Homo-oligomer: A and B are copies of this chain.
Protein backbone atom coordinates (compact mmCIF):
# COMPACT_ATOMS: atom_id res chain seq x y z
CA UNK A 1 0.00 0.00 0.00
CA UNK A 2 1.33 3.43 -0.90
CA UNK A 3 1.29 6.33 1.53
CA UNK A 4 -0.99 9.29 0.95
CA UNK A 5 0.24 12.47 -0.70
CA UNK A 6 0.38 15.51 1.55
CA UNK A 7 1.06 19.19 0.98
CA UNK A 8 3.88 20.67 3.01
CA UNK A 9 1.62 23.13 4.78
CA UNK A 10 -0.49 20.23 6.11
CA UNK A 11 2.39 18.12 7.44
CA UNK A 12 2.02 19.29 11.02
CA UNK A 13 -1.23 17.26 11.11
CA UNK A 14 0.67 14.11 9.99
CA UNK A 15 3.38 13.85 12.66
CA UNK A 16 4.48 10.24 13.12
CA UNK A 17 2.87 9.20 9.83
CA UNK A 18 4.49 8.17 6.56
CA UNK A 19 3.50 10.44 3.67
CA UNK A 20 4.60 11.28 0.14
CA UNK A 21 5.46 14.84 -0.86
CA UNK A 22 6.01 16.31 -4.35
CA UNK A 23 7.86 19.51 -5.11
CA UNK A 24 11.05 21.23 -6.20
CA UNK A 25 14.51 21.26 -4.67
CA UNK A 26 15.65 24.62 -3.33
CA UNK A 27 18.74 23.81 -1.23
CA UNK A 28 21.12 20.87 -0.86
CA UNK A 29 23.67 20.08 1.84
CA UNK A 30 25.49 16.83 2.63
CA UNK A 31 28.12 15.67 5.09
CA UNK A 32 28.70 12.44 3.14
CA UNK A 33 26.71 10.51 5.76
CA UNK A 34 23.68 12.72 6.20
CA UNK A 35 22.13 14.80 3.45
CA UNK A 36 19.54 17.58 3.72
CA UNK A 37 17.26 18.39 0.84
CA UNK A 38 15.11 21.47 1.24
CA UNK A 39 12.10 21.40 -1.06
CA UNK A 40 9.09 23.58 -1.77
CA UNK A 41 5.71 22.59 -3.18
CA UNK A 42 4.02 25.98 -3.41
CA UNK A 43 2.34 25.57 -0.04
CA UNK A 44 5.51 25.67 2.06
CA UNK A 45 9.13 24.65 2.51
CA UNK A 46 10.25 21.30 3.95
CA UNK A 47 13.57 19.96 5.14
CA UNK A 48 14.09 16.32 4.13
CA UNK A 49 16.74 14.29 5.92
CA UNK A 50 18.55 11.38 4.24
CA UNK A 51 20.74 9.17 6.45
CA UNK A 52 23.09 7.03 4.38
CA UNK A 53 23.23 3.98 6.67
CA UNK A 54 19.45 3.76 6.96
CA UNK A 55 18.73 3.96 3.23
CA UNK A 56 18.98 1.55 0.31
CA UNK A 57 22.08 2.43 -1.73
CA UNK A 58 20.02 3.46 -4.77
CA UNK A 59 18.01 5.97 -2.74
CA UNK A 60 21.15 7.54 -1.31
CA UNK A 61 22.59 7.76 -4.83
CA UNK A 62 19.62 9.73 -6.06
CA UNK A 63 20.94 12.61 -4.00
CA UNK A 64 23.81 13.09 -6.45
CA UNK A 65 21.33 13.70 -9.27
CA UNK A 66 19.63 16.62 -7.53
CA UNK A 67 20.09 20.28 -8.35
CA UNK A 68 18.23 23.54 -7.89
CA UNK A 69 14.65 23.12 -9.22
CA UNK A 70 14.77 19.34 -9.70
CA UNK A 71 11.23 17.99 -9.26
CA UNK A 72 11.15 15.17 -6.72
CA UNK A 73 8.79 12.85 -4.94
CA UNK A 74 9.88 11.81 -1.46
CA UNK A 75 8.34 9.45 1.07
CA UNK A 76 9.11 9.22 4.73
CA UNK A 77 7.96 9.81 8.27
CA UNK A 78 6.94 13.30 9.38
CA UNK A 79 8.87 14.27 12.51
CA UNK A 80 8.32 17.23 14.76
CA UNK A 81 11.30 19.61 14.76
CA UNK A 82 10.91 22.99 16.39
CA UNK A 83 13.93 24.44 14.52
CA UNK A 84 12.66 23.52 11.03
CA UNK A 85 10.48 25.81 8.93
CA UNK A 86 6.87 24.76 9.53
CA UNK A 87 7.96 22.85 12.68
CA UNK A 88 8.44 19.49 10.92
CA UNK A 89 11.01 17.59 8.89
CA UNK A 90 10.78 14.43 6.79
CA UNK A 91 12.87 11.33 7.53
CA UNK A 92 13.20 10.14 3.95
CA UNK A 93 12.85 6.46 3.04
CA UNK A 94 12.51 6.92 -0.72
CA UNK A 95 13.31 9.64 -3.23
CA UNK A 96 12.42 9.77 -6.92
CA UNK A 97 13.44 12.37 -9.47
CA UNK A 98 10.34 13.11 -11.55
CA UNK A 99 11.68 16.18 -13.39
CA UNK A 100 15.41 16.80 -13.74
CA UNK A 101 16.81 20.31 -13.83
CA UNK A 102 20.09 20.97 -15.64
CA UNK A 103 22.84 22.74 -13.75
CA UNK A 104 22.43 25.87 -15.88
CA UNK A 105 19.31 27.02 -14.00
CA UNK A 106 19.75 30.73 -14.57
CA UNK A 107 18.70 32.17 -11.23
CA UNK A 108 21.42 31.45 -8.71
CA UNK A 109 21.80 32.56 -5.10
CA UNK A 110 23.72 35.71 -6.04
CA UNK A 111 22.85 39.20 -7.21
CA UNK A 112 21.35 39.45 -10.68
CA UNK A 113 20.53 42.63 -12.61
CA UNK A 114 16.87 43.61 -12.82
CA UNK A 115 16.66 43.14 -16.59
CA UNK A 116 18.21 39.70 -16.31
CA UNK A 117 15.58 38.77 -13.74
CA UNK A 118 12.65 40.31 -15.60
CA UNK A 119 13.68 38.49 -18.77
CA UNK A 120 13.37 35.30 -16.71
CA UNK A 121 10.29 36.33 -14.80
CA UNK A 122 8.69 32.90 -15.43
CA UNK A 123 11.47 31.36 -13.30
CA UNK A 124 12.14 34.30 -10.98
CA UNK A 125 8.58 33.85 -9.65
CA UNK A 126 9.81 30.70 -7.92
CA UNK A 127 12.14 32.56 -5.55
CA UNK A 128 11.11 32.97 -1.92
CA UNK A 129 10.76 36.72 -2.09
CA UNK A 130 8.58 36.63 -5.20
CA UNK A 131 6.38 33.90 -3.75
CA UNK A 132 5.87 36.02 -0.64
CA UNK A 133 4.87 39.05 -2.74
CA UNK A 134 2.42 36.88 -4.73
CA UNK A 135 0.75 35.69 -1.55
CA UNK A 136 0.41 39.17 -0.12
CA UNK A 137 -1.03 40.37 -3.42
CA UNK A 138 -3.52 37.50 -3.35
CA UNK A 139 -4.54 38.38 0.21
CA UNK A 140 -5.03 42.04 -0.72
CA UNK A 141 -7.24 41.08 -3.66
CA UNK A 142 -9.32 38.66 -1.64
CA UNK A 143 -9.61 41.27 1.13
CA UNK A 144 -10.89 43.77 -1.46
CA UNK A 145 -13.52 41.30 -2.71
CA UNK A 146 -14.58 40.38 0.82
CA UNK A 147 -14.78 44.00 1.98
CA UNK A 148 -17.26 44.88 -0.76
CA UNK A 149 -19.15 41.58 -0.70
CA UNK A 150 -19.85 41.94 3.03
CA UNK A 151 -21.13 45.48 2.46
CA UNK A 152 -23.62 44.35 -0.22
CA UNK A 153 -21.75 45.90 -3.15
CA UNK A 154 -22.40 44.25 -6.50
CA UNK A 155 -19.36 43.49 -8.63
CA UNK A 156 -19.85 44.85 -12.15
CA UNK A 157 -17.21 43.94 -14.72
CA UNK A 158 -16.84 47.02 -16.90
CA UNK A 159 -15.62 46.67 -20.49
CA UNK A 160 -11.97 46.86 -21.54
CA UNK A 161 -12.78 47.56 -25.19
CA UNK A 162 -14.50 50.93 -25.41
CA UNK A 163 -15.48 53.35 -28.13
CA UNK A 164 -14.33 56.41 -26.15
CA UNK A 165 -13.74 56.90 -22.48
CA UNK A 166 -12.33 58.93 -19.61
CA UNK A 167 -8.93 60.53 -19.96
CA UNK A 168 -7.86 60.87 -23.53
CA UNK A 169 -4.09 60.69 -23.84
CA UNK A 170 -2.06 57.54 -23.55
CA UNK A 171 -4.57 55.14 -25.04
CA UNK A 172 -3.84 51.76 -26.58
CA UNK A 173 -6.08 51.18 -29.59
CA UNK A 174 -7.12 48.26 -31.77
CA UNK A 175 -9.25 47.76 -34.86
CA UNK A 176 -12.68 46.49 -33.84
CA UNK A 177 -14.31 44.60 -36.75
CA UNK A 178 -16.18 47.17 -38.87
CA UNK A 179 -16.88 49.46 -35.91
CA UNK A 180 -13.67 51.47 -36.23
CA UNK A 181 -11.15 51.94 -33.45
CA UNK A 182 -11.58 50.56 -29.96
CA UNK A 183 -9.54 51.82 -27.01
CA UNK A 184 -8.35 49.84 -23.99
CA UNK A 185 -10.05 51.25 -20.91
CA UNK A 186 -8.09 53.45 -18.53
CA UNK A 187 -10.92 53.27 -16.02
CA UNK A 188 -14.25 51.53 -15.53
CA UNK A 189 -15.69 54.50 -13.66
CA UNK A 190 -18.11 55.90 -16.22
CA UNK A 191 -19.67 52.46 -16.64
CA UNK A 192 -19.62 52.04 -12.89
CA UNK A 193 -21.71 55.19 -12.54
CA UNK A 194 -24.38 53.72 -14.83
CA UNK A 195 -24.36 50.53 -12.77
CA UNK A 196 -24.61 52.47 -9.48
CA UNK A 197 -27.93 53.91 -10.69
CA UNK A 198 -29.15 50.33 -11.12
CA UNK A 199 -27.58 48.62 -8.13
CA UNK A 200 -26.77 51.33 -5.61
CA UNK A 201 -23.34 50.16 -4.49
CA UNK A 202 -21.07 48.62 -7.07
CA UNK A 203 -17.43 48.04 -7.74
CA UNK A 204 -15.36 47.03 -10.71
CA UNK A 205 -11.93 45.46 -10.43
CA UNK A 206 -9.93 44.63 -13.49
CA UNK A 207 -6.93 45.50 -15.61
CA UNK A 208 -6.54 49.05 -16.91
CA UNK A 209 -4.13 50.39 -19.48
CA UNK A 210 -1.95 53.47 -19.97
CA UNK A 211 0.16 53.89 -23.10
CA UNK A 212 2.30 56.53 -21.43
CA UNK A 213 6.00 56.74 -22.08
CA UNK A 214 6.82 56.98 -18.41
CA UNK A 215 9.64 55.13 -16.74
CA UNK A 216 9.05 55.91 -13.08
CA UNK A 217 9.02 53.34 -10.32
CA UNK A 218 5.26 53.86 -9.91
CA UNK A 219 3.96 53.25 -13.43
CA UNK A 220 3.00 50.18 -15.40
CA UNK A 221 1.32 50.18 -18.78
CA UNK A 222 -1.07 47.45 -17.56
CA UNK A 223 -2.21 47.50 -13.96
CA UNK A 224 -5.20 46.45 -11.87
CA UNK A 225 -7.52 48.98 -10.33
CA UNK A 226 -10.52 48.57 -8.04
CA UNK A 227 -13.19 51.22 -8.45
CA UNK A 228 -16.24 51.37 -6.17
CA UNK A 229 -19.09 53.74 -6.98
CA UNK A 230 -21.81 54.52 -4.45
CA UNK A 231 -25.17 56.17 -5.04
CA UNK A 232 -25.98 58.92 -2.51
CA UNK A 233 -22.42 59.13 -1.14
CA UNK A 234 -20.96 62.61 -1.09
CA UNK A 235 -17.25 63.44 -1.02
CA UNK A 236 -17.11 63.16 2.74
CA UNK A 237 -18.79 59.72 2.76
CA UNK A 238 -16.36 58.78 0.01
CA UNK A 239 -13.28 59.55 2.13
CA UNK A 240 -14.78 57.64 5.06
CA UNK A 241 -15.27 54.60 2.83
CA UNK A 242 -11.67 54.90 1.60
CA UNK A 243 -10.09 55.01 5.05
CA UNK A 244 -12.20 52.11 6.24
CA UNK A 245 -11.25 50.16 3.11
CA UNK A 246 -7.50 50.81 3.25
CA UNK A 247 -7.35 50.06 6.98
CA UNK A 248 -9.18 46.78 6.43
CA UNK A 249 -6.76 45.68 3.72
CA UNK A 250 -3.65 46.48 5.75
CA UNK A 251 -4.91 44.93 8.97
CA UNK A 252 -5.95 41.78 7.15
CA UNK A 253 -2.47 41.37 5.65
CA UNK A 254 -0.96 41.80 9.09
CA UNK A 255 -3.32 39.18 10.44
CA UNK A 256 -3.02 36.57 7.69
CA UNK A 257 0.26 37.25 5.86
CA UNK A 258 2.57 38.12 8.70
CA UNK A 259 5.05 35.39 7.74
CA UNK A 260 5.30 36.69 4.19
CA UNK A 261 5.72 40.30 5.33
CA UNK A 262 8.48 39.19 7.69
CA UNK A 263 10.14 37.29 4.84
CA UNK A 264 10.02 40.54 2.87
CA UNK A 265 11.68 42.28 5.85
CA UNK A 266 8.80 44.71 6.06
CA UNK A 267 8.76 46.91 9.16
CA UNK A 268 5.41 45.79 10.57
CA UNK A 269 5.23 48.70 13.00
CA UNK A 270 4.75 50.99 10.00
CA UNK A 271 1.65 49.03 9.01
CA UNK A 272 0.16 48.50 12.45
CA UNK A 273 -0.65 52.22 12.75
CA UNK A 274 -2.71 52.27 9.55
CA UNK A 275 -6.11 52.67 11.18
CA UNK A 276 -8.98 55.00 10.27
CA UNK A 277 -9.52 57.93 10.46
CA UNK A 278 -6.79 59.36 8.24
CA UNK A 279 -5.67 63.00 8.44
CA UNK A 280 -7.23 65.33 5.84
CA UNK A 281 -5.56 68.36 4.30
CA UNK A 282 -7.36 70.79 2.05
CA UNK A 283 -5.44 71.31 -1.20
CA UNK A 284 -4.87 75.03 -0.50
CA UNK A 285 -3.47 74.25 2.94
CA UNK A 286 -1.30 71.56 1.37
CA UNK A 287 0.16 74.08 -1.07
CA UNK A 288 0.93 76.48 1.79
CA UNK A 289 2.57 73.67 3.76
CA UNK A 290 4.61 72.65 0.72
CA UNK A 291 5.75 76.23 0.14
CA UNK A 292 6.97 76.35 3.74
CA UNK A 293 8.82 73.09 3.12
CA UNK A 294 10.55 74.59 0.10
CA UNK A 295 8.57 72.94 -2.73
CA UNK A 296 8.21 74.99 -5.90
CA UNK A 297 4.53 74.01 -6.24
CA UNK A 298 2.05 76.79 -7.05
CA UNK A 299 -1.70 76.90 -6.40
CA UNK A 300 -3.32 75.29 -9.44
CA UNK A 301 -0.67 72.64 -10.05
CA UNK A 302 -1.30 68.96 -9.51
CA UNK A 303 1.03 67.55 -6.86
CA UNK A 304 4.11 65.60 -7.88
CA UNK A 305 5.71 62.58 -6.26
CA UNK A 306 8.11 64.72 -4.22
CA UNK A 307 5.29 66.91 -2.95
CA UNK A 308 3.41 63.81 -1.90
CA UNK A 309 6.40 62.60 0.08
CA UNK A 310 6.70 65.97 1.83
CA UNK A 311 3.01 65.94 2.75
CA UNK A 312 3.06 62.57 4.49
CA UNK A 313 6.18 63.40 6.53
CA UNK A 314 5.47 62.90 10.20
CA UNK A 315 2.27 60.91 9.58
CA UNK A 316 1.99 57.27 10.60
CA UNK A 317 -0.92 56.51 8.27
CA UNK A 318 -2.18 57.63 4.83
CA UNK A 319 -3.12 61.26 4.31
CA UNK A 320 -6.02 62.68 2.29
CA UNK A 321 -5.50 65.79 0.20
CA UNK A 322 -8.91 67.06 -0.89
CA UNK A 323 -10.57 69.57 -3.20
CA UNK A 324 -7.98 70.18 -5.90
CA UNK A 325 -8.22 72.94 -8.51
CA UNK A 326 -10.52 72.10 -11.38
CA UNK A 327 -7.73 72.40 -13.96
CA UNK A 328 -5.64 69.73 -12.25
CA UNK A 329 -8.40 67.11 -12.31
CA UNK A 330 -10.79 65.24 -14.59
CA UNK A 331 -13.91 66.70 -16.22
CA UNK A 332 -16.38 64.48 -14.36
CA UNK A 333 -15.62 65.79 -10.87
CA UNK A 334 -18.26 67.87 -9.15
CA UNK A 335 -17.65 71.59 -8.79
CA UNK A 336 -17.19 72.62 -5.17
CA UNK A 337 -20.15 74.88 -4.29
CA UNK A 338 -18.04 76.62 -1.61
CA UNK A 339 -15.17 77.40 -4.01
CA UNK A 340 -15.98 76.92 -7.70
CA UNK A 341 -12.27 77.07 -8.60
CA UNK A 342 -12.03 73.61 -7.04
CA UNK A 343 -13.74 70.24 -7.33
CA UNK A 344 -14.98 67.80 -4.66
CA UNK A 345 -12.25 65.21 -4.86
CA UNK A 346 -9.41 63.65 -2.93
CA UNK A 347 -6.18 61.77 -3.36
CA UNK A 348 -5.03 59.32 -0.71
CA UNK A 349 -1.26 59.34 -0.18
CA UNK A 350 0.41 56.31 1.37
CA UNK A 351 2.90 56.96 4.18
CA UNK A 352 6.68 56.47 3.90
CA UNK A 353 6.75 58.17 0.52
CA UNK A 354 4.91 55.41 -1.35
CA UNK A 355 2.78 58.09 -2.97
CA UNK A 356 -0.77 58.24 -4.27
CA UNK A 357 -2.68 54.99 -3.98
CA UNK A 358 -6.23 56.36 -4.46
CA UNK A 359 -7.88 59.08 -6.47
CA UNK A 360 -11.54 59.72 -5.69
CA UNK A 361 -14.27 62.26 -6.24
CA UNK A 362 -17.90 63.17 -6.02
CA UNK A 363 -19.18 63.15 -9.60
CA UNK A 364 -20.77 66.08 -11.37
CA UNK A 365 -24.48 65.21 -11.24
CA UNK A 366 -25.80 68.35 -12.95
CA UNK A 367 -26.52 67.66 -16.62
CA UNK A 368 -25.79 71.11 -17.98
CA UNK A 369 -22.65 71.66 -15.96
CA UNK A 370 -21.29 68.29 -17.03
CA UNK A 371 -22.13 69.03 -20.66
CA UNK A 372 -20.24 72.31 -20.39
CA UNK A 373 -17.20 70.54 -18.95
CA UNK A 374 -17.25 67.97 -21.77
CA UNK A 375 -17.36 70.82 -24.28
CA UNK A 376 -14.57 72.72 -22.52
CA UNK A 377 -12.37 69.64 -22.64
CA UNK A 378 -13.30 69.14 -26.32
CA UNK A 379 -14.35 65.55 -25.69
CA UNK A 380 -16.49 63.87 -28.37
CA UNK A 381 -20.03 64.67 -27.21
CA UNK A 382 -21.69 61.82 -29.09
CA UNK A 383 -19.51 59.29 -27.28
CA UNK A 384 -20.68 60.71 -23.94
CA UNK A 385 -24.39 60.82 -24.73
CA UNK A 386 -25.09 57.75 -22.65
CA UNK A 387 -23.05 59.19 -19.77
CA UNK A 388 -25.08 62.40 -19.88
CA UNK A 389 -28.28 60.29 -19.81
CA UNK A 390 -27.38 59.36 -16.22
CA UNK A 391 -27.89 63.06 -15.34
CA UNK A 392 -31.02 63.33 -17.44
CA UNK A 393 -33.06 60.45 -16.05
CA UNK A 394 -33.05 60.58 -12.25
CA UNK A 395 -29.69 62.17 -11.50
CA UNK A 396 -28.26 61.44 -8.09
CA UNK A 397 -25.44 62.44 -5.78
CA UNK A 398 -22.73 59.82 -6.12
CA UNK A 399 -19.05 59.31 -5.46
CA UNK A 400 -16.37 56.75 -6.04
CA UNK A 401 -12.68 56.16 -6.19
CA UNK A 402 -9.97 54.06 -7.78
CA UNK A 403 -7.30 52.24 -5.81
CA UNK A 404 -4.24 51.12 -7.79
CA UNK A 405 -3.49 47.54 -6.84
CA UNK A 406 0.22 47.39 -7.66
CA UNK A 407 0.97 50.60 -5.76
CA UNK A 408 -0.91 49.18 -2.78
CA UNK A 409 1.00 45.90 -3.00
CA UNK A 410 4.29 47.82 -3.29
CA UNK A 411 3.45 49.89 -0.22
CA UNK A 412 2.30 46.99 1.96
CA UNK A 413 5.23 44.78 0.90
CA UNK A 414 7.68 47.69 1.06
CA UNK A 415 8.83 47.35 -2.56
CA UNK A 416 10.77 50.21 -4.11
CA UNK A 417 9.27 49.62 -7.58
CA UNK A 418 5.83 48.43 -8.71
CA UNK A 419 7.35 46.03 -11.27
CA UNK A 420 7.67 43.29 -8.62
CA UNK A 421 4.07 43.77 -7.48
CA UNK A 422 2.56 41.87 -10.45
CA UNK A 423 3.45 38.49 -11.89
CA UNK A 424 4.27 39.62 -15.43
CA UNK A 425 4.82 43.40 -15.46
CA UNK A 426 4.19 45.41 -18.60
CA UNK A 427 6.24 48.56 -19.03
CA UNK A 428 7.41 50.73 -21.86
CA UNK A 429 10.26 48.39 -22.80
CA UNK A 430 8.81 45.18 -21.48
CA UNK A 431 6.19 43.03 -23.18
CA UNK A 432 7.82 39.62 -22.49
CA UNK A 433 7.68 37.01 -21.20
B429 touches A179 (CB 8 A): yes
A198 touches B426 (CB 8 A): no
Q: Does A432 contact B (CB under 8 A)?
A: yes
B134 touches A99 (CB 8 A): no
Closest B residue to A406 by beta carbon equals: B157
A209-B176 Cα distance, complex, nearest whole Å: 11
Of the candidates B9, B24, B122, B179, which one forms a contact with A389 in the assembled complex, judged by CB atoms under 8 Å apart?
Answer: B122
Tell which of A98, A99, A158, A428 has the most Cβ of chain B within 10 Å: A99
**Residues on B with beta carbons closer than 8 Å to the beta carbon of A122:** 191, 194, 386-387, 389-390
A24 touches B177 (CB 8 A): no
B224 touches A157 (CB 8 A): yes
Q: Within residues 9 to 36 of chain A, which ones have a CB less than 8 A from any CB in chain B? A: 9, 22-25
Q: Does A310 contact B (CB under 8 A)?
A: no
Q: How many copies does the complex hold?
A: 2
**Residues on B with beta carbons closer than 8 Å to the beta carbon of A273:** none
A431 touches B182 (CB 8 A): yes
Q: Does A172 contact B (CB under 8 A)?
A: yes
Q: A156-B423, A161-B426 are in contact. Are A392 and B102 (CB under 8 A)?
A: yes
B149 touches A142 (CB 8 A): yes
Could you write out 20 A-B pairs with CB less than 8 Å apart? A22-B396, A42-B154, A42-B196, A69-B394, A99-B394, A123-B194, A126-B198, A134-B198, A141-B157, A160-B209, A163-B431, A172-B176, A174-B174, A176-B221, A177-B211, A178-B429, A191-B423, A195-B423, A383-B432, A386-B432
